[in-house]
Structure formats: structure tokens, C-alpha cells
Amino acid sequence: MQSTEIERRKVINMDLFELEQIVEPLLTWFGSHARILPWREEPTAYRVWVSEIMLQQTRVEAVKPYYERFMNALPTVEALAAAPEETLLKLWEGLGYYNRVRNMGKAAGQIMEQYHGVIPDDYEQLCSLAGIGSYTAGAVASIAYGKPVPAVDGNVLRVISRVRMDDRDIMQAKVRKSVEQDLTAIMPKGRCGAFNQALMELGAMVCIPNGEPKCSECPWNDFCRAYQNRCMTEYPKKSPKKAHTIEYKTILVLQDAQKAALQKRPDKGLLAGMYEFPWIEGTQNEDSVLKYLGTLGLHALRIQRLEDSKHIFTHKEWHMTGYAVRVDELERTSQDNGLIFVDREEAEARYAIPSAYAAYTKYLQIRQGSEKVKGDLT
């Protein structure tokens, strides 16, 4: 970029941008472009809460069938509070970030004990509930109760950063807090929920995070500074992410004529309390796998190399090698190795297996994740 252009942009002071001008064009646009979504049809506090937790780190289209199944199974705070953790994990299977649903169960218990089963309308009280931060509290308070509080997520930070060419790092908590304060000051009376939803919608549908934003469709293109300076993709500013740690695993799909072997993950940490295939640390060859099976007292009748798979979590990656092994009898292995033996129907109905293992669950011929959810709804 030429120095004269840099100097011209320096003259533009973010503080001089009149943020109030975004409100009316945004609400007008939202009135004719809002998507029809199941949780918007009857925006009670419970429905808004469930949808917002599901939508964290997850696409709208992926959430829809999960939301419908979850609401059918647990239609009230009371039902959610009473549900066993294994039921919650199974309903969430495939959505990922499983602590979200664990915290929902804890928060439902808090609501039953502290608020007589009624989700509070107070922002601070909402923030005191397990798993509810400033964004979710703002969404519930504004959409369900009409409270004038912002709901600032990544979509909102991005659109506000672009419209006023904000050079601050949106990953910093103080920047988020500043944006929340700025939006609180311009919150339209009586339309707080619509305003927050409109900001999210604009970020999801027009001012998109990856690739060129659809500026020709934006209600703000007359005054958006990033658009006027043709530097939309330079915003928002973010500090670089930490490099992922990589773990190598060899996954074993162990089956005899009747059942397959699973094991439960530890009660704390990544994917806590869920079920997985037995695995060996590192990338192992066939001889190493057979040797390991011998330590379990299992005799392999047939072994087949499966495809490699990779799953990316927030801060780490799993690089997996797989083997399908047919053994003569699973039950002959010792009972103190943590393995459980389940048939296909039992695995599909009862045991929550993370989507990280999707490349290997298909060898058990079980439906998982969105495939199972859609099947349950038909």
C-alpha cells in the first residue's frame, strides 16, 4: 500500500465514527432478510438458551436437527436438570465441545434450586449460571426478555471492527468489553433483541469471516469505513493463534461375532466421560497391534488396515491410524482393562462416541451424529 494511502487512513479516527448510524439501516435490513429458524418462532428464555449454546462454534444448518431432537427430549428446564449426564452426552453426540451440554445440565440444576425453575431475566444472575458468559447472557436477556444488553460474539466483533476500521485486537477481553459498552449506548428501546439478532445475522450472512464479504448486500455500505477503503478482509485484527499440539494414536476397532469393544474416557479433561475405541499411543504397525492384543489375551482371526484420519480440536490435533480386528472372543480378555463389550444397537442407542472417531464408527455400522439425529426425527 502506498504511503499516501496509509496517511489518509490514519486521519480516519475510529472515535469520530458515529455508531448510532448503524441502527436503523440494520433493523430495516433484518426485517426483510431474517432467516426463519426454529428457535425464533417462540423465543422463550429456555429455547434461546439452548439454541445459543448449540450455535457456539457450530453452523446453523448443522444445529437445526439437533435442536429439534433436544427440545423433543428435554422440553423444559426441569427435564434438563433431571437428565443423566449420559443422556445429555448422547443427545449432543456429533456437536462437539461436550462441556457445553454438561454445563447446561449444571445450570439447569442451579435454576431449579435458586430460581424455582424460572430462568432469570437479570444479566448478572444469568452470568452466574454454569457455562453462561456475557454473550449468552446478553442473548437470553435481550431476545427473551427485551433487556437492553448487548450480545457480542465473533460475528458482532467482526462487523463492528469493519464498519469503523477498528485496529484493536478483538481477542483481547478489554476490546470486547469496550464494544459491549459502545453497543449498550446505542441499543434501540423496545427492539433490543431484534438489534442483537440483526448484528449476528449480518455477520453470518453478509459480513462473512472467510473470503470476500458480500458488501453489495450490506445495509452499511454507504458509511462502512473498511468498505470505503477497500480493506474489508484486513479486519478484524486478531493476535495469532497458538500452534496446535499433535497427538498420534492407533485406533482399534475390535469385534467378535457378536459385540465390539469400547472404553470410557476419564471423567475430566478432553471429551470427558464419553466412549471411544481402544487405542495405542503412537503410529503402530500390524505386528505391534497383534502384540498388544496378546497382552489383552485376545486372539486375532483377521486384521485389516483402515484409513488414516485427523481431527482438529481447539488446541490440539489427533492424527489417527486405524485397524479393524476380528477376534475369536472378546469376553476372554481380563475384566480389569477398562473395556466394555456392546452390540451395534446398544452402541448406537446408549453410548456417546465423539465425532473425532467418525472415520471408524462406520465399521460398526452404527449411525452417529447428524445422520442419527435425522433418523430419529423421521
Q: Which residue has the higher pLDDT, 242 or 81?
A: 81
Q: Is residue 373 part of a domain?
A: yes
pLDDT of 234 reads 95
Which CATH number covers residue 62? 1.10.340.30
pLDDT of 184 reads 97
Positions of E strands within the chain: 245-255, 260-264, 275-276, 279-281, 300-312, 316-327, 339-342
Do residue 258 and residue 152 come from a single domain? Answer: no
Q: Is residue 125 part of a domain?
A: yes
CA atoms lying within 13 Å on the CB side of residue 20: 5
CA separation for the pair 260, 174 (Å, rounded): 50
Q: How large is the average pLDDT for residues 265-284?
A: 94
pLDDT of 133 reads 96
**For residue 13, is pLDDT > 60?**
no
Q: How large is the average pLDDT for residues 143-158?
A: 97
For residue 173, count other CB atoms closer than 10 A to its CB: 8
Yes or no: say if 369 and 262 are a contact pair by the CB < 8 Å rule: no
Q: Is residue 239 part of a domain?
A: no
CA separation for the pair 211, 233 (Å, rounded): 8
Do residue 212 and residue 262 come from a single domain? Answer: no
Residue-wise pLDDT tens digits, 35-60: 999 999 999 999 999 999 999 988 99
pLDDT band for position 10 (cuts 50, 70, 90): very low
CA separation for the pair 81, 260 (Å, rounded): 32
Q: Of the candidates 200, 234, 268, which is a domain's last residue?
A: 234
Q: Is residue 12 part of a domain?
A: yes
Yes or no: say if 241 and 313 are a contact pair by the CB < 8 Å rule: no
Do residue 263 and residue 201 come from a single domain? Answer: no
Under DSSP, is residue 140 helix (H, G, I), strand (E, B) or coil?
A: helix
Q: At what angle are helices 45-55 and 60-73 packed, to 10 degrees?
A: 140
Which CATH number covers residue 325? 3.90.79.10
Name which of 92-101, 326-335, 358-367 the model is least confident about.
326-335
Do residue 36 and residue 183 come from a single domain? Answer: yes
**For residue 368, is pLDDT > 80?**
no
Do residue 16 and residue 157 come from a single domain? Answer: yes
Q: Of the candidates 234, 261, 296, which is a domain's last residue?
A: 234
Q: How large is the average pLDDT for residues 301-326?
A: 96
Do residue 212 and residue 354 come from a single domain? Answer: no
Q: How large is the average pLDDT for residues 192-214?
A: 96
Catalytic residues, by residue number, are 52
366 burial type by CB count under 10 A (0-12 exposed, 13-18 middle, 19+ buried): buried
Q: Is residue 131 part of a domain?
A: yes
pLDDT of 244 reads 87
pLDDT band for position 16 (cuts 50, 70, 90): low
pLDDT of 240 reads 87
Q: Is residue 104 part of a domain?
A: yes
Q: Which residues contact 223 (CB under 8 A, 6 or more apart)?
A: 21, 163
Nearest 5°: phi and psi at 230?
A: 50, 45
Q: Is beta strand 275-276 parallel, antiparallel or unpaired with respect to 279-281? A: unpaired
pLDDT band for position 376 (cuts 50, 70, 90): low
Do residue 197 and residue 274 come from a single domain? Answer: no
Q: Of the candidates 188, 213, 234, which is a domain's last residue?
A: 234
Residue-wise pLDDT tens digits, 339-361: 999 998 888 889 999 999 999 99
**For residue 8, is pLDDT > 50?**
no
Do residue 201 and residue 272 come from a single domain? Answer: no
pLDDT band for position 369 (cuts 50, 70, 90): low
Closest CA to 198 of 155, 137, 235, 233: 155
pLDDT band for position 2 (cuts 50, 70, 90): very low
Nearest 5°: phi and psi at 214?
A: -90, 70
Yes or no: say if 309 and 278 are a contact pair by the CB < 8 Å rule: no
Do residue 208 and residue 273 come from a single domain? Answer: no
Number of domains in the chain: 2
Do residue 178 and residue 311 come from a single domain? Answer: no
Yes or no: say if 283 and 248 are a contact pair by the CB < 8 Å rule: yes
pLDDT band for position 372 (cuts 50, 70, 90): low
Closest CA to 227 of 213, 237, 211, 242: 213
Q: Is residue 273 part of a domain?
A: yes
pLDDT of 211 reads 86
Nearest 5°: phi and psi at 126?
A: -60, -40
Residue-wise pLDDT tens digits, 220-237: 999 999 999 999 999 999
pLDDT of 37 reads 97
Do residue 216 and residue 256 come from a single domain? Answer: no
Q: Which residues contact 327 (CB under 8 A, 6 or more apart)?
A: 254, 255, 256, 293, 298, 299, 300, 301
Do residue 169 and residue 102 come from a single domain? Answer: yes
CA separation for the pair 30, 21 (Å, rounded): 15
Domain range for 345? 245-377
Q: Is residue 314 part of a domain?
A: yes
Q: Is beta strand 339-342 parallel, antiparallel or unpaired with respect to 260-264? A: antiparallel
